Amino acid sequence: MIVFPAIDLKDGQAVRLTKGLMESAKVYSNEPWELAKRFEDMGAKWLHIVDLNGAFAGEPKNIDQIEKIRKNTNLKIQLGGGIRDEETIKRYLDLGINRLILGSIAAREPEKVIELAKKYPIAVGIDAKDGYVAVDGWGKSEGVKATELAEKFKNSDIECIIATDISKDGTLQGLNIDFILEIMKASNKPVIASGGVASEEDIIKVKQNDIYGVIIGKAFYEGKIDLAQILKLQ
């Protein structure tokens, strides 16, 4: 199990949202790279970054902060938010990003993502509300079942799937483990659990169910968990 501390970027700041709503943003740092350095000092190996402005705009919007994080840490970085084409993928790889997360484009053009994954380190982000995929910063529903989308990547070269239950995200109500396991079964791929981590109990459930990884955001920022201790469970 890999623990992925999360930094969500909005207007150059590290924030957390509740249920993906931009107006719910709570600022936790004006210098996100300092947070990343703290995570590294605690023992993190990976960092999960989302460019929230990028997710809504469909193009990179927080590159300056992403560059600062890259230059100031040795963490492996997986990054999502507004990555919709090969040019953007190459741009981020040139910056030293280790894995790109494709969400909206994966929902709309899964075959294209399958082809991209043959050349680049790609993760697919499946964000779901009531079991259906949401895109464009979770602002729209595609009318596609999350499990059906996951199944399309079964025999592909994608590295993993990041599965988020939007109704849980940022709520500190606990992970939807059943949803994560459904995505694992449908895709036969490593899955990173995201959305709603509230306590160490959630992390233990992830480990017990042989889930590849877990993203920790608000639970750390609100002091609900001891991240340094949880990182030792990896």
CA distance 230 to 234: 7
Q: Is 98 exposed, middle or buried (0-12, 13-18, 19+ CB in 10 A)?
A: middle
Choose, from 8, 165, 169, 202, the residue flagged as catalytic: 8
- DSSP string over 15-48: EEEETTEEEEEEEEES-HHHHHHHHHHHT-SEEE
| Residue 226 a catalytic site member | no
Q: What's the CA gap between 100 and 161, in Å, rounded?
A: 11
Query: Residue 198: which of 230, 158, 234 has the closest Cα?
Result: 230
What does residue 183 show for φ and ψ, rounded to 5 degrees? Answer: -65, -40
Nearest-CA neighbor of 52 among 100, 7, 109? 7
Distance between CA atoms of 166 and 20, rounded to whole angstroms? 7
Exactly one of 11, 41, 51, 127 is catalytic; which is it? 127
DSSP conformation class of 95: H
Instruction: State yes or no: is 8 an active-site residue.
Output: yes
Which residues are catalytically annotated? Answer: 8, 127
